[in-house]
């Protein structure tokens, strides 16, 4: 008797919907915009007053105008496109290798013992120290740039994937055995989804490092790209253009990070961790 009641009450409970409705977080966006908005306002006021030199410090308005000019001449889209291709290629190669090797090392102790010490050793070498070697071996061409970015993107992805795999609940492996998962299913149905939170974190870190390495590569020597545009403008003291380059780096960097975060929210809906 009592048990029937239990069943009823459970079923009468509102069925759980797949996705709770989320409204756009206006409040937190506004809060986050306070400091940047204040800085921009003060900067504009100071340069309009002539309190600071416009040639040396530029002004928000001049930068906006420069954006418009550079877009109209097609210069900015051209450099941006080239930079994006370099960064994406580097991220794809480096991040992809990090994911793959991190998975293999995470899933097998022997592979870990062979591979991990070397990777950890390489990780401690500052990237800038290797750059001269890259230039000597591969010249100033695209190859050395993409390789440098790949190398930078590799490590955060590798470390986080490896950590993620090692954090998989060992008890779930028994479930996989009972359900007769083969190696492929164990990897794709068990290890990858379980390690996904770490892999996504690795993706974010990896993306930002790829972006960083891109700047380094382009500042060191290039005939195109946003980094080159900055370098070129510097020699002609075109502060506005330098600022355009800097802000475009910031905007694209933030944008790519936001994309991964949206991805995180969608893919990790199953997690019940503290959300703040």
Which residues are at the interface with other proteins (CB under 8 A)? 2-3, 6-7, 10-11, 13, 15-18, 171-172, 174-175, 177-181, 185, 189-190, 193-194, 196, 269-272
Q: Half-sphere exposure of 264 toward its Cβ, with a 13 Å CA cutoff?
A: 16
Note whether 256 and 200 are within 8 A (CB): no
Q: How far is the CB of 102 from other proteins (least distance, A)?
A: 19
Which C-beta is closer to other proteins: that of 101 or that of 190?
Answer: 190
Buried b (16+ CB within 10 A) or exposed e, 176-208: eeeeebeeeebbeebbbebbbbbbbbbbbbbbb
Which C-beta is closer to other proteins: that of 65 or that of 189?
Answer: 189
For residues 271 and 201, give the distance between their C-alpha atoms in angstroms, rounded to a whole number: 14
Which C-beta is closer to other proteins: that of 174 or that of 223?
Answer: 174
Q: How far is the CB of 200 from other proteins (least distance, A)?
A: 12
For residues 96 and 149, give the distance between their C-alpha atoms in angstroms, rounded to a whole number: 12
Question: Is the Cα dihedral 182, 184, 189, 192 positive or negative?
Answer: positive
Q: How far is the CB of 259 from other proteins (least distance, A)?
A: 21
Note whether 95 and 153 are within 8 A (CB): yes
Which C-beta is closer to other proteins: that of 2 or that of 124?
Answer: 2
Q: How far is the CB of 21 from other proteins (least distance, A)?
A: 15
Which C-beta is closer to other proteins: that of 70 or that of 196?
Answer: 196
Note whether 66 and 129 are within 8 A (CB): no
């Amino acid at each position: 008797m009592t048990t029937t009641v239990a069943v009823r009450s459970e079923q009468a409970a509102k069925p759980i919907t797949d996705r709770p409705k989320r409204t756009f977080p206006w409040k937190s966006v506004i809060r986050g915009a306070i400091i940047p908005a204040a800085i921009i306002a003060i900067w504009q006021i100071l340069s309009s007053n002539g309190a600071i030199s416009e040639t040396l410090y530029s002004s928000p308005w001049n930068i906006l105008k420069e954006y418009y000019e550079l877009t109209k001449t097609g210069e900015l889209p051209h450099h941006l496109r080239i930079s994006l291709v370099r960064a994406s290629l580097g991220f794809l190669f480096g991040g992809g290798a990090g994911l793959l090797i991190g998975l293999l090392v995470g899933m097998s102790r022997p592979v870990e013992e062979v591979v991990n010490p070397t990777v950890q050793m390489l990780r401690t070498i500052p990237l800038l120290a290797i750059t001269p070697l890259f230039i000597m071996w591969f010249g100033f061409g695209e190859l050395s740039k993409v390789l440098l970015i790949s190398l930078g993107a590799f490590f955060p992805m590798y470390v986080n994937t490896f950590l993620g795999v090692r954090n998989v609940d060992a008890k779930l492996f028994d479930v996989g055995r009972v359900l007769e998962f083969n190696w492929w299913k164990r990897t794709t149905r068990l290890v990858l989804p379980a390690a996904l939170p770490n892999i996504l974190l690795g993706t974010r870190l990896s993306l930002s490092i790829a972006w960083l390495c891109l700047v380094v590569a382009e500042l060191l020597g290039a005939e195109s790209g946003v980094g080159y545009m900055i370098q070129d403008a510097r020699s002609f003291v075109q502060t506005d253009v330098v600022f355009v380059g800097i802000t475009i780096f910031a905007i694209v960097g933030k944008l790519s990070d936001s994309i991964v975060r949206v991805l995180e929210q969608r893919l990790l809906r199953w997690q019940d961790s503290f959300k703040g």
